[in-house]
Amino acid sequence: MLADRQTLSAAQLAPWWRGAAIYQIYPRSFADSNGDGIGDLPGVTARLEHVASLGVDAIWLSPFFRSPMRDFGYDVSDYCAVDPVFGTLADFDALVERVHSLGLRLMIDQVYSHSSDQHPWFLESRSSRDGPRSDWYVWADPKPDGTPPNNWQSVFGGAAWTWDARRGQYYLHNFLREQPDLNLHNLAVQDALLDVARFWLDRGVDGFRIDAINFAMHDPQLRDNPPAPPGGKRTRPFDFQQHLHNQSHPDIVLFLERLRRAIDGYGGRFTLAEVGGDGSLGEMHVFTQGNSRLHSAYGFDFLYAERLTPELVARVAQDWPARPGVGWPTWAFENHDAPRALSRWAPIEQADRFARTKMLLLSAMRGSIILFQGEELGLPQVDVPFDQLQDPEAIANWPQTLSRDGVRTPMPWRSEAPNLGFSTGEPWLPAGDEHRPLSVDRQVGDPDSMLAFTRRCLKFRSDCAVLRLGSMDIIEAGEQLLRFERSHDGRRLLCSFNLSERPAAFRASGPSLISSGEASSGALGAFSAAIEDIS
């Protein structure tokens, strides 16, 4: 293993999040402590040693706030309360304490673009056009013929406007109708959200992953969106438009600067934006520009990609050059909103080999990295039958939209236990039988397992300042081979990845530090990789 103590000191001086490995926990599916079939905070706390053993730096905990669960926590009805299905604030405090005792950091979601329609703010807003919170959400009169104010479409299907008889107006919802959009043009709304951030910072969280932040402000003129150019995959009305006016307003950065000032008052905290859509790269750069906005951002370049190709990796890496003023990238191959990468990218017969090369590639990328729960085990997507689907988007667009439920199935802890050790009760989603041979207990004692390889990759990255902090220069991005150089403080690594199903010609350039698959002096096997020291 590489451990350059001189350059490691540079890593120790850098902010903790720079180059960090972050483990995403979807609490509903991680571990159930009380047998009701739904994962909870005590369940997470009980399983934290597994997470710490991976060698990650931080945990990102998906929503656990009070919610009607129409979108499983991303419809928040109380930003400062734990939903009873997940536990209590005391359970959260115990979780924070345990995370920190294990030497980890804790990030949580913040959902600022919308709330639940059951939130007291919305209930008050819809009750009157003249009340104190009447303009905390986006309201508009109908057209003369009674139709919605414009042509904006919801991500989840249908118009982005719902009629409310109490106010005699439409309200905007870029997602479900039960998720009305907050009006962040209103400074009082911004103040309330900053108070929410301070509430959780005061309880010890180390950072925020900010959900759908480019949806946080709309065009006040309510102009129609133009049609999208011909071509491309279209499974929803949302896909037929260019989203110029329902999202991505330039004033979003002013709110982000206010948020950053509030967070900086706590010291050592991290802000990470989720940004999707056709213009996401430009928005990510704007949201992370300089030192007064967010620290980092990630998009969906890999999450929705049908194939992992050298060209894709090279292109997205080059989109984040190491230049002054350009933000710091974060990468994810899997998360709770996208099908498992192995099921998108690898033939079944090559899944194990591909999983290792994919993990090594993620560990070698310049930026911070996110692993989704179970990725360390090499889990494939579970095919959840239609009658067991829970995801509102999948139900509405079935069978055209790949279900998010297939990546949200219970974490497999014990192969022979009921529900793979996730719960003693009936799980909210079925445990995947294909996950049985990949369970934690099957892999934990096997030095040749995917779990063991993940630990080696993450330790290699953690010990190596070149990978955490260094530059990344693409050497080759052909049909089969991806090769790039990572360098920092006089140390150089050559990273070679064969992302194809057949061997590729390969000549070693230096001592091999870590590899996956078959790497010899003459060839790099199918879905194989090697990282060499060429200093």
Mean pLDDT of 419-443: 97
**What is the domain range of residue 314?**
5-115+186-461
Give me the pLDDT at residue 5, please: 45
Regarding whether 105 and 15 lie in a shared domain, the answer is yes
Regarding whether 494 and 452 lie in a shared domain, the answer is no
Angle at 319 between CA 268 and CA 506, to 5 degrees: 105
152 located within any domain: no
Higher pLDDT, 486 or 7: 486
Sign of the four-CA dihedral 231, 233, 237, 243: negative
Three-state secondary structure call for residue 165 = coil
Q: In this structure, how many other beta carbons lie within 10 angstroms of the beta carbon of residue 225?
A: 20
Mean pLDDT of 270-288: 94
Give me the pLDDT at residue 399, please: 72
Q: Which two tokens stand for residue 243?
A: 């989203």
Residue with tokens 């070698």: 364
Q: Are strands 78-82 and 65-66 parallel, antiparallel or unpaired?
A: antiparallel
Regarding whether 205 and 94 lie in a shared domain, the answer is yes
Mean pLDDT of 441-468: 98
Residue partners of 204: CB distance under 8 A and separation at least 6: 93, 96, 97, 100, 106
Regarding whether 478 and 419 lie in a shared domain, the answer is no
**Strand order through the sheet with 161-164:** 139-140, 169-172, 161-164
Number of domains in the chain: 2
* Active site (annotated) includes residue 434: no
Regarding whether 481 and 452 lie in a shared domain, the answer is no
Give me the pLDDT at residue 233, please: 79
Last residue of a domain, one of 409, 441, 461: 461
Regarding whether 404 and 524 lie in a shared domain, the answer is no
With 0-12 / 13-18 / 19 or more C-beta atoms within 10 angstroms meaning exposed / middle / buried, residue 124 is middle
Give me the pLDDT at residue 231, please: 83
DSSP assignment of 95-152: HHHHHHHTT-EEEEEEE-SB--TTSHHHHHHHH-SSSTTTTSB-EEPPPTTS--SS--
Give me the pLDDT at residue 342, please: 95
Regarding whether 521 and 403 lie in a shared domain, the answer is no
pLDDT at 266 over 60: yes
pLDDT band at 71 (very low <50, low <70, confident <90, very high): very high
* Active site (annotated) includes residue 145: no
pLDDT at 81 over 50: yes
Q: What is the per-residue pLDDT across 135-156, written as a single tens digit (0 to 9) for each? A: 999 999 999 999 999 999 999 8
Give me the pLDDT at residue 402, please: 62
Give me the pLDDT at residue 117, please: 98
494 located within any domain: yes
Which CATH number goes with the domain that contains 498? 2.60.40.1180
Residue partners of 127: CB distance under 8 A and separation at least 6: 166, 167
50 located within any domain: yes
121 located within any domain: no
Residue with tokens 């499974």: 235
Angle at 368 between CA 371 and CA 191, to 5 degrees: 95
175 located within any domain: no
Last residue of a domain, one of 461, 496, 515: 461
Which neighbouring-strand residues pair with 495?
484, 531
Last residue of a domain, one of 461, 480, 509: 461
Mean pLDDT of 510-523: 90
Mean pLDDT of 335-340: 94
Mean pLDDT of 247-268: 97
Counting every residue written for the chain, the total comes to: 535
Regarding whether 446 and 320 lie in a shared domain, the answer is yes
**Residues 71, 117, 181, 211: which is the catalytic one?**
211
Q: Tell me how far apart the 2 most distant CA atoms of the chain are, in Å.
A: 75
**Residues 91, 274, 334, 405: which is the catalytic one?**
274
pLDDT at 272 over 70: yes
162 located within any domain: no
Q: Are 422 and 373 in contact (CB under 8 A)?
A: no
Percent of the chain scored above 90 by pLDDT? 90
Q: In this structure, how many other beta carbons lie within 10 angstroms of the beta carbon of residue 150?
A: 21
Q: What is the per-residue pLDDT across 368-412, written as a single tens digit (0 to 9) for each? A: 999 999 999 999 999 998 989 998 877 877 776 567 999 999 999
Mean pLDDT of 411-426: 98
Which CATH number goes with the domain that contains 370? 3.20.20.80
pLDDT at 83 over 70: yes
pLDDT at 34 over 90: yes
Q: Are 493 and 510 in contact (CB under 8 A)?
A: no
Regarding whether 502 and 357 lie in a shared domain, the answer is no
Higher pLDDT, 391 or 301: 301
What whole-number distance in Å separates Cα of residue 492 and Cα of residue 510? Answer: 10
Regarding whether 512 and 455 lie in a shared domain, the answer is no
pLDDT band at 6 (very low <50, low <70, confident <90, very high): very low
Give me the pLDDT at residue 401, please: 59
Which neighbouring-strand residues pair with 328?
296
133 located within any domain: no
333 located within any domain: yes
Sign of the four-CA dihedral 61, 64, 67, 72: positive
Regarding whether 480 and 370 lie in a shared domain, the answer is no
Q: Whole-number mean pLDDT of the chain?
A: 95
Give me the pLDDT at residue 232, please: 80
Residue partners of 134: CB distance under 8 A and separation at least 6: 125, 128
Give me the pLDDT at residue 11, please: 60
Q: Are 328 and 367 in contact (CB under 8 A)?
A: yes
Regarding whether 270 and 224 lie in a shared domain, the answer is yes
pLDDT band at 9 (very low <50, low <70, confident <90, very high): low
What whole-number distance in Å separates Cα of residue 439 and Cα of residue 409? Answer: 13
